């Protein structure tokens, strides 16, 4: 399963790299207002779906572009073919492919690949998390020395009660903030300590499934804005356990 996942996500990354430079306006569509999707999002998801259907025909798939198939299966792949489509469309490098495998409602394996950065993350339940084959762990930093990352999916959805409130509360209390546009990669960066923490609201399962297993297997704590397990529906926070506890009061 590990070899299957890593080889296919690498191939998907090659598609992204090869196609990014060729993208034109005609390759981009708007879905629900201000959210964009490119022909490569669809192509990459189609590629991964075909590979999975070929190898594991009785597994289910939840994908951002293709929806849910075989909803009742015990094994289900959760795919975001391009997380950070806006960055991708604008020729930037901070985008990723996110794939997680859920078995009986528990995340079992996950990979986040950033092809333009050459960074391949992998985690398996109980076995730890890895970047390019090297074991990784979350940082030990506290709030006043932390680099946090977040995003504004809620603004593009037109939410009135949005992330600007939390952003304004947290930014003055930390070392610095990053906002690069891929929640999956943000969480992978928390898992390896490049970032200390991440929070966001209005994300979907396919944005965070792989990242959540990476952070958990790297020793971090992932929860919703109340400290519970209803993420991403009730917001999501990911950091080392002490830092997650420090961030939570600012998200009430
Ligand atoms: P995407 O690139 O797959 O759309 C950045 O803030 C994160 O939010 C990314 O993971 C992005 O995923 C997601 N995102 C962007 N716009 C969104 C929207 N309107 N609703 C939900 N998620 C969104
Ligand atoms: Ca996407």
User: Is the shortest distance between the CB of 153 and ligand 1 below 6 Å?
Assistant: yes
pTM: 0.96
Ligand index nearest the alpha carbon of residue 44: 2
Q: How confident is the model at residue 235 (pLDDT cuts 50, 70, 90)?
A: very high
pLDDT tens, position by position, 122-139:
999 999 999 999 999 999
The mean per-residue pLDDT over the stretch 203-228 comes to 98
User: Is any atom of ligand 1 closer than 6 Å to the C-beta of 112?
Assistant: no
Predicted confidence (pLDDT) at residue 153 exceeds the cutoff of 90: no
DSSP secondary structure string for all residues of the chain: -HHHHHHHHHHHHHHHHHHHTT--GGGEEEETTTEEEEHHHHHHHHHHHHHHHHH-TT-EEEETTTEEESTT-SEEEEEEEEE-HHHHHTT-S--EEEEEEEETTEEEEEEEEETTTTEEEEEETTTEEEETTEEE------GGG-EEE---HHHHTT-SS-THHHHHHHGGGSSEEE--S-HHHHHHHHHTTSSSEEEESS--HHHHHHHHHHHHHTT-EEE-TTSSS-TTTT-EEEE-HHHHHHHGGGG-
Least confident of 76-90, 121-135, 155-169, 197-211: 155-169
Q: What are the structural domains, with CATH classification, of the chain?
A: 2-135 (3.30.540.10), 143-251 (3.40.190.80)
**Ligand 1: does its nearest atom lie under 6 Å from the Cβ of 151?**
yes
pLDDT tens by residue, 90-117? 999 999 999 999 999 999 999 999 999 9
Q: Which of 66, 97, 183 to mutate to test the pocket of ligand 1 (most atoms within 8 A of CB)?
A: 183
Q: What is the pLDDT of residues 25-65, one digit of tens each?
A: 999 999 877 889 999 999 999 999 999 999 999 999 999 99
């Amino acid at each position: 399963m590990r070899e299957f996942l890593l080889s296919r996500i690498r191939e998907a990354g090659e598609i992204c790299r090869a196609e990014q430079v060729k993208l034109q306006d005609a390759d981009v569509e708007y879905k629900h207002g201000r959210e964009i999707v490119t022909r490569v999002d669809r192509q990459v998801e189609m590629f991964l779906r075909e590979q999975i259907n070929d190898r594991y025909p009785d597994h289910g798939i939840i994908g951002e572009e293709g929806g849910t198939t075989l909803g009742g299966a015990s094994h289900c792949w959760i795919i975001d073919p391009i997380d950070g489509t806006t960055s991708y469309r604008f020729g930037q490098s901070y985008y990723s492919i996110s794939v997680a495998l859920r078995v009986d409602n528990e995340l079992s394996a996950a990979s986040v690949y950033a092809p333009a950065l050459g960074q391949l993350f992998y985690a398996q339940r109980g076995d730890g998390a890895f970047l390019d084959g090297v074991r990784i762990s979350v940082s030990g930093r506290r709030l006043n020395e932390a680099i946090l990352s977040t995003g504004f999916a809620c603004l593009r959805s037109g939410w009135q009660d949005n992330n600007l409130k939390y952003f304004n509360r947290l930014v003055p209390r930390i070392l610095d903030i990053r906002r690069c546009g891929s929640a999956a990669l943000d969480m992978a960066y928390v898992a390896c300590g490049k970032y200390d923490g991440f929070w966001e609201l209005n994300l979907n399962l396919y944005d965070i499934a792989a990242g959540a297993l990476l952070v958990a297997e790297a020793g971090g704590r992932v929860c919703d804005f109340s400290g519970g397990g209803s993420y991403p529906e009730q917001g999501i926070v990911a950091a080392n356990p002490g830092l997650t506890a420090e961030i939570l009061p600012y998200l009430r």
